[in-house]
Structure 1
Amino acid sequence: MTGDDAAPTLAQLMSKLSRSASTEARGEVADAIGRSIDSPELGPVERDIALDIVRKLAGDLEQQVRRNLADAVRQSVGLPHDVALKLAKDVAEVALPIISDSVVLTDGDLVTIVEEGDTDKQLAIANRDEVSDVVAGALVERGNEDVVVAVVSNPGAELNEPVLGKALDRFGDSPRLQTPMVGRATLPVAVAERLVSLVSDKLKDELVRRHEISPDMATDLVLEGRERATLALLSDDAGSQKVEDLVREMARNGRLTDSILLRAACTGDLAFVAAGLAVRAKIAFRNADLLVHDDGANGLKSLASKAGMSEHDRIILRAAVDVARTTEMVDAPDARDRFAETVLERVLTTFDADEVGFSEEDAEYLIKKLSKYTGKHKENAVAHLR
């Protein structure tokens, strides 16, 4: 390169080192030569000379010189492995640029650094653009809560089921860990289901939206969350935007199923039923709500048909909605439990399994749900459905 803005040549850098032994001069050379080692303009001989200088500067007595070098070579692909490792094992101020960015360091190098126990270095590794499952495992095993939270929060970290499980073993009670774990793009089913018992109601809703969990558990979470909402208890108008947002998200994820609509109806959550049918039928929420609450049979039948429900499921839905609409909800501490008990018992015992009845899966779910509130009718319901 030529001109006033041209980078110093290798000869100029060597001359500068020979003329001045000051820390400032060596730091400037470290910065310049570090940035030059990947240059295609260097020939083989020049590159060897440059790398020799880099090696010497990596062992300089002055920390600032080594820091300048580390900053300059942090993203170099041509940095010799021994130099990268030497800088990475230096004091944190020198090492962190290399540990954070160098692609020259191997997983084995990174695991060794993690095992040495320096928290600042562990955090730098946890925040790398890419963290392999092996390195992530070492971080989760050896790091403190800050380190584990950092790696779980990193979308570039590969976190397999055992590693996530270990993170929960160590810090599962911490909301600082729960929030980024729920927010990951994917979670193994076993981890998602384990999180259910640990996280807040808000994060449970997020789990259902984002991750794969068993159908029954997903249903429990959605309906229990809806049961907590005011609109599910006393008012079909309060919080309508919240339920509309929920069903839209479930539809996008393929989880707004016939089964969950039936089960919602059987727990009296007509706001959820109406919103779910509206999304599936592609009609206005208000119109769907009117059809669900219409005294005539044809409105709901037409809506459910347009929403793609089978004739079998439409009949059960009609019965569940009728029971829910005619069962009084009172304002009492156990009102929701008693209401759900009444609806479930009446729906389960209304149909003969040989005629219309629930699928075995739905029947088992609803019987289990009924027994959650009271065990006295469970045997009768089971006998009737056999």
Structure 2
Amino acid sequence: MQDRLTFADVERLLSEPMEDARALIARKVASQFSNVVLTPRERELAQEILGYLVHDIAAQVRSALAQCLCDLPAAPRDVILALAGDIDEVALPILESSTVLTEEDMVHLVLTGSAAKRRAIAGRKDVAPAVSDAIARAGDRAAVAALIGNEGAIIRSEALNAIVDRYSDDDEIMDPMARRTDLPICLVERLLTIVSDQLRQHLIERHDIAPDMAAIFEEQARERVLVERIQAIHPDEIGRVVLQIAERKRLTASLLLRALCAGESGFVETGFALLTNVPEERATRLIHDVGPLGFRAVYARAALPEIFYPAFRAALDVVHELQADGYLSDRPYLRHSMRTRIGERFPEIEAGDVDFLIDRLTRRLSPVSWGKGFAA
């Protein structure tokens, strides 16, 4: 073989002060390690030298070693692990392509390594489910974006939903997610109500969703956006906004429930007053009556679907409890509490957030025949 490793190289390695020369030897050793014609003694010598080089003080030497070993499936595991745990400059080639690393190794590196290391692992040709789970849990936006854009990554439904929970407003993550070819239909259902119009149309076409079903998803998405806008409206404008929504026949039970779950009690009170033709002050007293009859009477007079009543009752209980405890203004905690309490009333509905739960409640009223994978 050409350029064969010699004992002169070993002597030079031990005595050579120049980084460039040691880096050259590192490349020679690494390039010869996978050669099947090496004698057992030569292979043993090469492995000993690799073990020595991996601790070289010069990053240039260790980096040269990593670049030559990253694609060798027979590279010594202890050397690969040492390089993977090294500084980013050295570790990245190993993390991007070495098949010596196990799933457990990569999960550990995702949870303990740098942001650059997480991104490198997320972009590997193949990413196992356990590694994808770790990246989703780590909460590193750049790594998650790399993972979602990697069609070679196997991402479980639970991890995908966790990513949607955290990044639903991030187009740079939602766009590639909506375009993945391996989305479970339950996630497609959820994405349809939160992504942009363009991505929604893409999902509808790719998954062959019927027009009547698509219309329902579009309306649910519109309600979510409307509640976000309601939260920015000055209290003095609520009455006018409620009237406009009612005139367009969109003052629905689902919209009122979404608003209540978002802490917009003023909108809900004004809405029920309009639907029942009861003065707002009186409607408000009945809605927040500590007994069971006040709100029941208002709800019946509003002629809203009975299926939503338990959800409203649970949501009002949450509002009253958090108001008494001083936590009503904590919107994330409010929404979590709403999801938990309403979910207790509908244990058969699987939903990661309160809006998705309301979506599924709403579909129970629809005459649409839901396809396989879509829950009514």
Asked if TM exceeds 0.5, the reply is: yes
- Per the TM alignment, residue 80 of structure 1 is displaced from its structure 2 partner at its CA by 1.4
What do you get for the CA RMSD once the two structures are aligned? Answer: 2.9
Contact 1:100 1:124 in 2 (8 A): yes
CA 1:213–1:148: 2 relative to 1, 3 Å: farther
Please say if 1:181 is aligned against 2:183.
Answer: no
Contact 1:122 1:139 in 2 (8 A): yes
| Matched ranges for 1:65-76 at <5 A | 65-76=61-72
- Per the TM alignment, residue 22 of structure 1 is displaced from its structure 2 partner at its CA by 2.1
The one-letter code matched in structure 1 to 2:104 is G
* TM-score of the pair, normalised by structure 1: 0.55
Contact 1:189 1:212 in 2 (8 A): no
| Matched ranges for 1:156-171 at <5 A | 156-171=152-167
SS at match of 1:50: helix
Deviations 1:310-335 (A, max 9, x none): xxxxxxxxxxxxxxxxxxxxxxxxxx
Contact 1:186 1:211 in 2 (8 A): no
- Per the TM alignment, residue 213 of structure 1 is displaced from its structure 2 partner at its CA by 6.1
Q: 2:203 aligns with which of 201, 204, 207?
A: 207
Contact 1:185 1:210 in 2 (8 A): no
| Matched ranges for 1:51-130 at <5 A | 51-130=47-126
Query: What 5-or-longer segments of structure 1 have no aligned partner?
Result: 226-362, 369-386
Q: Which residue of 1 aligns with 2:239?
A: none
Q: Which residue of 1 aligns with 2:151?
A: 155
- Per the TM alignment, residue 70 of structure 1 is displaced from its structure 2 partner at its CA by 0.7
Q: Percent identity?
A: 34
Please say if 1:9 is aligned against 2:5.
Answer: yes
| Matched ranges for 1:258-273 at <5 A | none
1: CA distance, partners of 2:44 / 2:115: 35
CA 1:215–1:112: 2 relative to 1, 3 Å: farther
Q: Which residue of 1 aligns with 2:128?
A: 132
1: CA distance, partners of 2:86 / 2:110: 14
2: CA distance, partners of 1:113 / 1:194: 31
1: CA distance, partners of 2:84 / 2:208: 39
SS at match of 1:365: coil
1: CA distance, partners of 2:32 / 2:209: 52
Q: Which residue of 2 aligns with 1:30?
A: 26
Q: Which residue of 2 aligns with 1:352?
A: none
Q: Which residue of 1 aligns with 2:213?
A: 217
CA 1:155–1:191: 2 relative to 1, 3 Å: same
Larger RCO: 1 or 2 (CA < 8 Å, sep 6+): 2
SS at match of 1:33: helix
SS at match of 1:159: coil
2: CA distance, partners of 1:130 / 1:209: 28
Contact 2:67 2:93 in 1 (8 A): yes
Please say if 1:365 is aligned against 2:348.
Answer: no
1: CA distance, partners of 2:52 / 2:111: 27
| Matched ranges for 1:297-376 at <5 A | 365=367
CA 1:39–1:213: 2 relative to 1, 3 Å: farther
Contact 1:58 1:83 in 2 (8 A): yes
